[in-house]
């Protein structure tokens, strides 16, 4: 029998930007943040290099930002959501500044802005070149540590949602290093635990980010939207590290060029915007060069030279670890799973289809990103929807319960962890069958392999969360018989006249995967 602990605290799963921002927004209402690692470790937000997109320059506008978002999203962006998020962007930058984020500033006090792919203006607010995510997280962590309303359970991971009469009532948690579960019930649950990049063999995401939070919600019956749209970053550093270090898009904004081993630039022949084309186009071009044995690389020598060492310390550090001197040689790159546009379907206030459940950040699908996220809109979306979800939760719960006792977990017996060999097989299956370039036969084979992996360890909730999300991605990709944005099928290379978002439950995806007919003919 699983032990149950009841609390009046709002339960937040995750410890990235969305989770911590929401925790602060909920104050003074008591909050419990569930973090698998110490705060600041293992969250995708802290690894974000580019920054936050916002129309801070007087010559730029929120309307232009919304237009660029719509353009990059390839016909499936919700226009009302794009308008709302871009209108809110400026205020969130100002609020993060007030909370202590040391954004790069001009001598006159204005913000230093970077240009990134598919933006019509330089509108990405940054910190020390490529340190935005880390510095924003540092500022938020300091605020959370000093917030009397927030308790953080570190070294604890959520493995499932608790349901009663169709409503989410809490979560099941274990020690991050493996233990028997304990149920924690509360008045509301906010999932803010990241995306799905780690389901792929080559990814820029932290090791734990493998679709578990989306899978938890899906296993409880939540509707998942746009699962097939996984963004592959075109310039992960191909140094053999896992996860792959990222060469931020801001480098291309500074003028860095993509070249192959013949020292040929290949992007001008692919798209008029060359290296600053939408990410899906650049990623497929890089992927094609690597598949052809042409060893794509990012050349920063002419545009930055030695400046890269001081202005982009994360990139410089990754190069040093790999024995690469970017001031002398181009940086080898590969396309890597980077951001999941799909996730738990939510409304404009972050509410999921299950009562009692809210979702923000990469685990959600709001309609902002469409088929291809505009660069640096990810952190922005997390900020906007963290605040909106917090406001919605406050409105739903009514009277503040006042003080709440601290949660203390009992000693827990060890429990089974996902078999690393099965996780490696899953990551390989997703890369081979549901990667940068897809087709029906490959997606069908991917679904069969996911089912086999799941059957090999059927009683491990953490693995089931991963396979649930993997199943949803592959099934939605098989059902979308066109190419759009980050979803490219060689057997259906054309884009349909009308763009439509996908909505799928896990039950529907499993019916396709495990049904009596071949999944090649949905």
Is 68 contained in some domain? Answer: no
CA neighbor of 520 nearest in space, from 451, 439, 430: 439
Counts for the chain of helices (H) and strands (E), in that order: 15, 20
Q: Are 393 and 27 in contact (CB under 8 A)?
A: no
Three-state secondary-structure class, residue 498: coil
Token digits of residue 182: 């304990």
Indicate whether 47 pLDDT > 80.
Answer: no
Q: Which of these three, 273, 305, 338, is where a domain ends? A: 338
Tell me the per-residue pLDDT of 257-272, one tens digit each, with 9 for 90 and over: 999 999 999 999 999 9
The verdict on residue 288 lying in a domain is yes
243, 250 Cβ separation under 8 angstroms: no
pTM: 0.94
Report, in this order, helix, strand and coil percent for the chain, each rounded to 5.
35, 20, 45
Tokens of residue 430, six digits? 């997703």
For residue 296, the tally of other CB atoms under 10 A from its CB is 26
Which residue in this structure is represented by tokens 């008029």?
272
Q: Residue 522: its pLDDT value, please?
A: 46
Number of C-alpha atoms within 13 angstroms, CB side, residue 372? 28
Report if residue 159 sits inside a domain.
no
The pLDDT > 70 percentage for the chain reads 98
For residue 260, what is the domain's CATH number? 3.90.700.10
Q: For residue range 269-291, list pLDDT tens digits in order.
A: 999 999 988 888 999 999 999 99
Q: What residues does 438 pair with on adjacent strands?
A: 489
Band (510; pLDDT cuts 50, 70, 90): very high
Q: Is the pLDDT of residue 415 over 90?
A: no
Q: Encode pLDDT of 215-236 as tens digits.
A: 999 999 999 999 999 999 999 9
Sheet holding 189-191, edge to edge: 150-154, 31-35, 10-13, 189-191, 357-359
| Each residue's pLDDT tens digit, 55-103 | 999 999 999 999 999 999 999 999 999 999 999 999 999 999 999 999 9
Q: What is the CATH number of the domain that holds 437?
A: 1.20.58.100
Residue 196 has pLDDT above 80, yes or no: yes
Last residue of a domain, one of 338, 356, 382: 338
User: Residue 437 sits in which domain range?
Assistant: 420-514
**Does the annotation mark 162 as catalytic?**
no
- The rounded distance, in Å, linking the Cα atoms of 66 and 408 is 45
Give pLDDT tens digits for 331-367: 999 999 999 999 999 999 999 999 999 999 999 999 9
Tell me phi and psi for residue 460, to 5 degrees: -105, 105
Domain boundary among 338, 364, 381: 338
Residue 315 pLDDT greater than 60, yes or no: yes
In a domain? residue 30:
no
Which pLDDT score is estimated for 419?
A: 97
**pLDDT single digits (tens) 469-506:** 999 999 999 999 999 999 999 999 999 999 999 999 99
* Residue 40 in this model has a pLDDT that exceeds 70: yes
- For residues 334 and 426, state if they share a domain: no
User: Which is the catalytic residue, given 123, 162, 279, 513?
Assistant: 279
Q: pLDDT digits over 106-148, tens only? A: 999 999 988 888 899 999 998 887 788 889 999 999 999 999 9
Structure tokens at 135: 């510095």
Same domain, 427 and 330: no
* Domains: count for the chain: 2
């Amino acid at each position: 029998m699983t032990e149950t602990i009841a609390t009046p605290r709002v339960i937040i799963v995750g410890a990235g930007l969305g989770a911590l921002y929401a925790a602060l927004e909920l104050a003074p209402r008591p909050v419990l943040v569930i973090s698998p690692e110490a705060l600041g470790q293992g969250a995708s937000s802290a690894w974000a290099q580019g920054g936050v997109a916002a129309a801070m320059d007087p010559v730029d506008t929120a309307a232009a930002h919304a237009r660029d978002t719509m353009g990059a999203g390839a016909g499936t962006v919700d226009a009302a959501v794009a308008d709302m998020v871009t209108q809110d962007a400026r205020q969130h930058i100002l609020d993060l500044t007030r909370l202590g984020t040391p954004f790069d500033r001009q001598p006159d006090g204005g913000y230093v802005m970077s240009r990134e792919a598919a933006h019509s203006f330089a509108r990405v607010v940054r910190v020390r070149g490529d340190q935005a995510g880390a510095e924003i997280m540092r500022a938020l962590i300091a605020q959370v540590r000093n917030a009397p309303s927030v308790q953080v359970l570190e070294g604890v991971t959520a493995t499932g949602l608790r349901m009663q009469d169709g409503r989410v009532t809490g979560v099941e948690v274990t020690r991050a290093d493996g233990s028997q579960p304990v149920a924690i019930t509360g008045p509301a649950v906010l999932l803010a635990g990241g995306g799905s990049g780690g389901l792929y063999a080559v990814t820029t995401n932290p090791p734990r980010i493998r679709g578990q939070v989306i899978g938890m919600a899906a296993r409880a019956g939540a509707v998942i939207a746009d699962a097939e749209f996984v963004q592959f970053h075109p310039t992960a550093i191909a140094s053999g590290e896992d996860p792959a270090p990222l060469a931020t898009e801001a480098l291309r904004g500074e003028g860095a060029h993509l070249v192959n081993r013949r020292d040929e630039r290949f992007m001008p022949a692919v798209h008029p915007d060359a290296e600053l084309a939408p990410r899906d186009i650049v990623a497929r071009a890089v992927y094609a060069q690597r598949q052809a044995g042409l060893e794509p690389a990012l050349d920063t020598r002419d545009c930055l030279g030695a400046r890269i060492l001081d202005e982009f310390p994360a990139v410089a550090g990754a190069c040093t670890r790999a024995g690469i001197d970017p001031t002398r040689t181009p940086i080898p790159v590969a396309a890597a799973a980077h951001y999941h546009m799909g996730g738990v379907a939510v409304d404009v206030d972050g509410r999921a289809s299950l009562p009692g459940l809210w979702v923000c950040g990469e685990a959600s699908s709001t309609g902002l990103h469409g088929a291809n996220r505009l660069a640096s809109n990810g952190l922005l979306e997390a900020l906007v929807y963290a605040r909106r979800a917090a406001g919605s939760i406050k409105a739903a719960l009514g009277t503040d319960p006042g003080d709440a006792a601290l949660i203390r977990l009992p000693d827990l017996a060890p429990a089974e962890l996902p078999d690393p060999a099965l996780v490696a097989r899953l990551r390989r299956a997703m890369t081979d069958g549901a990667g940068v370039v897809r087709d029906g036969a490959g997606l069908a084979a991917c679904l069969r392999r996911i089912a086999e992996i799941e059957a090999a360890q059927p009683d491990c909730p953490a693995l089931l969360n991963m396979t649930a999300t993997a199943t949803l991605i592959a099934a939605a990709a098989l059902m979308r018989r066109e190419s759009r944005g980050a979803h490219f099928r060689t057997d259906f290379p054309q884009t349909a006249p009308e763009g439509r978002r996908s909505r799928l439950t896990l039950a529907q995806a499993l019916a396709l995967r495990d049904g009596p007919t071949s999944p090649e003919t949905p």
